[in-house]
Amino acid sequence: MATNRVKQIHSFGQSIWLDFINREIIKSGELKKLIDEDGVRGVTSNPAIFEKAITSSSDYDADIAELAKTTNDNEEIFFGIAVKDIQNATDLFKGVYEESKGVDGYVSLEVSPFLALKEKETAEQAEKLWKAVNRKNVMIKIPGTKPGLGAIRSSIAKGININVTLLFGLPRYEEVAEAYIAGLEDHLAAGHSIGHITSVASFFLSRIDVLVDPMLDEKGAPELKAEVAIASAKKAYEIYKRVFSGPRWEKLAAQGAKPQRLLWASTSSKNPAFKDTKYVEALIGPDTVDTVPLETIEAFRDHGIAANTLEQGLDQATAVLEKLKAIGIDIDKVTQQLEDEGVDKFNKPFEKLLQAIEDQKVKV
């Protein structure tokens, strides 16, 4: 029997996490099958994923009706529903968590997108959700916005596993890595052990190319299309290797600290002109995570090529970003725009989700 192509990725030190959750995939045994057959080692969720799950099925109606008896707050009702799904998924991944000694087996739940620019409220909700799920293998997602940095540090300092989301730019990524390290130092200084704390930094890819590619056509540089995101990711990995080495990091590593792995997000090809597994294939390498939607897992299982590619073509990656600058495209401006739009893109489905809960309550 041929080796499963998705499973092969793991042999290069990268973990594949599923970027999707709903009750059906848990109840039907499909998620368990993905763990067993494809070697899927975690799950990520976001407001858009939950909005789709709740509005496209009746699986949540009874819970909405039940929770509505005790609160009229639609956000509270949503998190009551979401926590249940996350708990059920974390229980499925308990074996992966234990076998990997706490490296993998995580399921991520995001704080309200309405808090993306509010440091104190984000930190408070992160702690509340962490306690509500009450599982060692949950990660709370906090956006890597400027105000999010303080919330990331204080959450790590409380011993909470954090998935930093909505990262697009290299300078911000480095600030996120710094917030993680500082949080570990705070936790250690308070007299706690740090070996159990885990974090990932989710670097979004295809959205960069969606925004930049039309600019490249305008500037007469079409040869760089669908290359900028991959080049940025390769440079982010260089930063990762630099930050998680040297005396400061070694001091924490000696206390059992785990590096904050880079996680590739938004890895489905948005442009049909390019191979549907392009982003996955280009960034396979050690100590990283790739979170992919179901259709990309299926595509890779069918025709993906697993190879150690992440550190190939680093000079070319540098050249791509230098050429971008030379033709007058400010990548920092682009990534800030993407962050702003990303916050908005999660707000809209969250508003729709809360409205759906409201409508369901009225039916009851």
Per-residue burial over 74-100, b = 16 or more CB atoms within 10 Å of its CB, e = otherwise = beebbbbbbbbbbbebbebbeebbeeb
Task: List the catalytic residues.
Answer: 141
pLDDT tens per residue across span 270-322: 888 899 999 999 999 999 999 999 999 999 999 999 999 999 999 999 999 99
- pLDDT number for residue 360: 87
The alpha carbon of residue 306 and the mean position of all alpha carbons in its chain are separated, in whole angstroms, by 21
- pLDDT number for residue 362: 78
- pLDDT number for residue 127: 98
- pLDDT number for residue 364: 62
Residues of the chain with pLDDT under 50: none
Q: Give the C-alpha separation, 202 to 144, whole Å.
A: 9
pLDDT tens per residue across span 75-110: 999 999 999 999 999 999 999 999 999 999 999 999
Name residue, tokens 């009851």. Answer: 364
Name residue, tokens 């250690």. Answer: 188
Burial bucket for residue 222 (CB in 10 Å: 0-12, 13-18, 19+):
exposed
- pLDDT number for residue 271: 87
Helix and strand totals (H; E) in the chain: 17, 8
- pLDDT number for residue 85: 97
- Using alpha carbons, select from 115, 106, 113 the residue that is nearest to residue 46: 113
| Token pair belonging to 104 | 């993998």
Evaluate whether 88 touches 21 at the Cβ level (below 8 Å): no
Range of the domain at 24: 5-363
Q: Give the C-alpha separation, 199 to 197, whole Å.
A: 7
CATH number of the domain to which 335 belongs: 3.20.20.70
Q: Give the C-alpha separation, 81 to 233, whole Å.
A: 34
In this structure, are strands 261-265 and 199-204 parallel, antiparallel, or unpaired?
parallel
Helix pair angle (47-55, 74-92), 10° resolution: 100
The alpha carbon of residue 347 and the mean position of all alpha carbons in its chain are separated, in whole angstroms, by 17
- Beta strand ranges found along 10-66 (DSSP E): 14-18, 42-43
Q: Give the C-alpha separation, 53 to 46, whole Å.
A: 11
Report the domain count for the chain: 1
